[in-house]
Chains A and B, each alone.
Chain A
Amino acid sequence: MFFIALLSGVVLMIPYDVNHPYRSVSQMLLANPYASWIRNIHYYSSQFFLVLLLLHLYEHFRKKQAVRLKQGIWLRLTPGLPVLFLVMFTGFLLRGDADTIQARHLVEQLTGEIPLVGNLLAFSIFGQQGSLQLIYINHAAVFSIISLIFIFEHSRKLWPELKTFVFAVIIVFAAGYYFSAPLHDNVHPVVKGPWYFLGLQNLLYRLSHPQWLLVIITGVLVLVYVAGLKTYRLYFSARKILLILMALYGLLTIDGLFFRGENWHSVYPWQKNYHYQVFGAYHFSKTDISSAKYAADILKTPPINGRQESCMVCHKKVKGFTASHNPETTGCFSCHGGNPFSTDKTSAHKNLILIPGNLSNAKRTCGTAGCHPEIVERTNKGLMATLSGMINVDRFVFNEQDTPDGMTTPAGLHHSPADEHLKNLCVRCHLGNEKHVTGAVTEESRGGGCVACHLNYDEQSLKAHAEYQQTGLLPDNEFHPSVDLKVTNDHCFGCHSRSGRISTNYEGWHETTLKPADVTGKKGFRLVEGTRVFRYVADDVHHAAGLECIDCHTSYELMGDGKHYQHQEDQQDVACTDCHTVTPDTINPLRLDGESAVIAGLRFGNITNRKFIRTKKHKTPLINTFVKNDSVFLIGKNSGKIHFAKPPATTCRRDNAHKTVSCSACHSGWAPTCIGCHNQYDPEEPGYNMLLNREQRGSWVEYTGEYNSLPPTLGVRTAGNEREIIPVIPGMVLTIDLHSYDKHLPDSLVFHRLFAPAAPHTTVTRGRSCKSCHNNPLALGYGKGTLTYKVTGNKGKWHFEPFYTSNENDGLPEDAWIPFLGSRTGKVSTRTNVVPLTVSRQKKMLTVGACLTCHDEKSEVIEQTLTDFSAVIKRKKAACVLPF
């Protein structure tokens, strides 16, 4: 074996380039099959040699007789052992890949720890940092010759027996033909030494002071020497210890080889992605003699990560990328995986990732080191991935937990009624939902991880994709969809046109219970997903101005900021008053965080002289804003259009009346409402498991009530001593038939009257009128109806006539949150910190409402009430009759 290694090594010196080691080895693998085969032969012959050497030692150690060699020879052979390991290890280092660079650091430093001669020895073996010249010489000449001398002295033979040699040649040539010698792809995060040093790597993992390893190695060498002595008691004990040590080292090696992944963390076969985590850095394939024809093409491909990769030999015409994802700089392998060192289609496409960016593979595609690891880490904690709020509120509504708060993920769903409900009707929208089919984003798109937002098809890539779908072959001119920052409203639409319906509200569309046939040919309606009928109401003022979702929402809101949040409003960072302000909080470009600076630079070029707004809540820079002459401007991220952000009106800035009223409570034109929903489980219903993405028999069915677009109700959000009036909508006025799912459950029918905080995204420039809150039963929480103020003599009294009949479960009108001039406690909303207006606050509001029954809201006296209500009341005329 040693001879084969020696001979193949000499031949290997021709294609090997010590100045570009990794690149030259990758070129052998890709386009020089004969050199690759020789390299494989060199590798396997040396590994077999080492295995045979270890077996030979084992054989020696288990013998009870003394060795027949002279003591002097044995004494020389003992230090020869580390030399043999050095010839192996220096050969390993010549790969020049990620493994070997780290291994060199490690062994070089460890050698330097040897007292007195360490540094000299390290320099003599490894030479200058960053250069492999001396290592190459040591491997190819110095250590090989020394090893040869030891072997000769030990065996007293120069040439092997012909039969043995032929047998060894057949074995090694076959192994070299069928299995390529390992080469790290320099993308996978695992770093491991050669297999015979994995035991040492494992031992070092347990040693804070690695100098102990030197003591252990010295001890082992002493034992090896003693094992060759003639005194029975001595050599027998030494051999026994050595056998035990060999067994222990074997166990450490097995652990290192099969059960250690990234950062030397333990990984076991029953864990997800075990094979990738442990062995993913290496790509074994058969020697492909026909690959020689690609030699010229390979040399034309750009070097990526210090090596060549095969993809662009076939996909040479691929285009459609932005500069940051150009395969000439990033390669194809870093996103799509596969085998970068093979030009054979089947082998190159083994373990190919068709859709990189799915959260299941994002860590090894978009999130590899050097790309976006920190973003992938954050995204998995963000609400779009965890759905924490959605899951906990649903369980709360199903009476499965006492509060709507908690941290969870879709992976934590089990088989309770609420979890089944979520699986049937809700969780398709989580970002981790796998995208399996290529193609552009549509209204029906859900999930897909990174590509849910960052993939864009243009006309040419759509055409190419259509051709690919028809023929199953990639067209000559491969137009790849662009991976970029152009996140449009369409990317958000699929998920955000449901539940709170923010996307549709923003564009002015309100969902109805009409059927498509009801509106055929009618103006002012649109179909979503072909079946849902929406009626146009009025779009958000920002939408009318051309602003898109990402013009307000930052990367830290959308991809998470690394923290776990329970509900949407917790993760939400940007607020109206960040831009609509007279006292902007600014940040200069030098203080921007890396991500904001990179995105700002990519979007807007030179940002040196800009002053950016930052959010008041989390201090996040809004990179598409700038402040000039104390005015705030916002630039459309996709459109480039500059918008002036009007400062808030004087009414909004006044620090007395309405100071606790949120912007959206006043400036939301309308909000979608839904009342009278009934939920029942039908075991025969053709259903769907959104977690597993498969059809099933049996599903929860929602029998919806009435959909309306109405001004939102007012609620109170508390945070410590702070109170804020916010818009709320009847989120869950519903019944759930639990016994339809499981007859053994303690509750049969659950009824709830829960309102939910809303972000309607239907902003209007002019806020609500005074009467729209103070004289409006809907705003106060009583539901739709007639609210009249009647004065009899010197007594005034409010009367309320509800529009809807009373619900049999609680006696309140169907759409009410609270009784007229009453209150509710306990389960009232989908948040623990959102409650209805108190009776005292209702009375205060209705007192103003009483004034508004006579006085115009623009009258002087009403204006005065905004400054000092009590003073105005004190000087009221006798004709003014107040209700309370």
Chain B
Amino acid sequence: MTHSDILVLDCRQVLASLSCWLDGDGTAELRAAIERHLARCGRCRVLVDTTRHTLRLLVETEPFEVPLAVSARLYARLEQALRES
């Protein structure tokens, strides 16, 4: 491969491929190009790191817990339905 054949991405293209990168998708060529870009672009590295961090927090904080009262109503309703069935 000559130098001009190497895929070079700008920040906008890396941004567009961000989800693909985080999900492990994309061709080997695209992934290598993203990796080269990240090696020399601090802002895009921050973007990748903080997006990964965002997804980790989304899972780890376990948002939207069922309120106790809601859970109690659910069980009461189901018990009634199961008795009727």
Asked if A and B are interacting partners, one says no
Residue numbers of B with Cβ under 8 A of A are none
Q: Which residues of A contact B (CB under 8 A)?
A: none
